[in-house]
Amino acid sequence: MNVYEPEDSLMGSYLFFSFDLNAILEGISFLAFDNVNIMLGSHNFQFEKFETEFWFDINYTSEEFPSSWPHFSQNFEISPTMFLPKPNIFMPSCIELILPDIQPSSIPELIMNTNNCRLYYMYDSVYKLPKCVFNFCLRFSTNQPEKMHALLYLYCFSFTFLYQEKIYEAEM
């Protein structure tokens, strides 16, 4: 709306937080055929004479309404098929973020311990985003480090791919 001058914009001194039919009808009653501004835009308009807008270098034309048009605005009735929708009962009334009742700790909590791996959990008190970190210590008894490096890379990629669906909310 900052493109238009304030007198060309609809505005007022009222701020509404709920639906008020009387206020809407009162506002509609101020709209008259002699104080309306209709803007049409298209790439295909063919103007016989046009002006060029100074700032944006856009071609436009300004015309008065034909004298045969005002009869359309007389005896205007609101169509019963045009109405505002009913209030959405699924819309929440409170949108505050509820923080979990977790005491932040400086060290992670061990939640799973097996012979092959350990799984720790720690609540992210800084960004409040879940994060998952997997640390493995794999030992190979072979003299082919290139082959083992390629297999280890493939294993890590496959592991990340398989577990991404289970912990999709967390950054891995």
* Under 8 Å between Cβ of 47 and 61: yes
pLDDT of 165: 72
How many other C-beta atoms are found inside a 10 Å radius of the C-beta of residue 21?
8
Measured in whole angstroms, the distance separating CA 46 from the mean position of its chain's CA atoms is 37
pLDDT exceeds 50 at position 1: no
Structure tokens that stand for 166 in this block: 């289970």
Q: Give the pLDDT score at 61.
A: 81
Structure confidence at residue 11 (pLDDT) = 59
Mean pLDDT of 10-31: 72
